[in-house]
Amino acid sequence: MDRYFQKISFEQFKKEIKDDKELYEEYKLPKRSTKYSAGYDFYALEDLEIAPGEIKKIPTGYRAKFKNDEVLMIFVRSSMGFKYNVRLTNQVGIIDADYFDNKETNGHMYVSLQNEGNKVYKIKKGEAYAQGLFLKYLTCGEEVLNEREGWTGSPLRKEDNNE
């Protein structure tokens, strides 16, 4: 298989989400909802509420494997932005191919949502709240690059590293 989603390990799930084997076994992997859907829907592990002005970092429980010349881009579902003014805090999530084997995170992806509306936004367990699209990308020839060491693929700025 060229690309696929899989659950993070149960050890990582216990560490970052909850020590709940039943929840781990039952949550579903991303999938497309129709034959011509571009995006793979991400589903909530549990009920969530985001108050107006609040930012919530949401663990997905997913990791994704894909080709080295591809990227997984994560977007908020269109209706959330149009109807409720809920957005991704980083506008578009970028997941690189080498994140899958990340020793620190087990490739676990998070989504950060911000409610800029005036009402509490509720997401029910099992409901889609984001979508991921796999895309090919081009590069500018041969480059000497760093290996991924943690959350990011490039060295952090001092202010990002809390130094």
- Is residue 31 pLDDT above 60, yes or no? yes
Q: Which domain holds residue 24?
A: 4-139
Return the structure tokens found at 31: 């999938």
pTM for this prediction: 0.86
Task: Give 41-88 pLDDT, tens digit per residue.
Answer: 999 999 999 999 999 999 999 999 999 999 999 999 988 989 999 999
Q: What does pLDDT average to over the chain?
A: 90
Residue 89 banded pLDDT, cuts 50, 70, 90: very high
For residue 44, being part of any structural domain is answered with yes
Look at the chain and report how many structural domains it folds into: 1
For residue 159, being part of any structural domain is answered with no
CATH number of the domain at 74, please.
Answer: 2.70.40.10
Contact 52, 118 (CB under 8 A): yes
> What is the pLDDT at residue 154?
47
For residue 161, being part of any structural domain is answered with no
For residue 115, being part of any structural domain is answered with yes
Q: H or E element: which one contains 80?
A: helix 78-84
For residue 158, being part of any structural domain is answered with no
- What beta strand segments (E) does 93-141 contain? 93-96, 110-115, 121-123, 128-136
For residue 163, being part of any structural domain is answered with no
Q: Which of 107, 113, 116 is nearest to 128 (CA)?
A: 113
For residue 150, being part of any structural domain is answered with no
CA angle 103, 160, 115 (to 5 degrees): 90
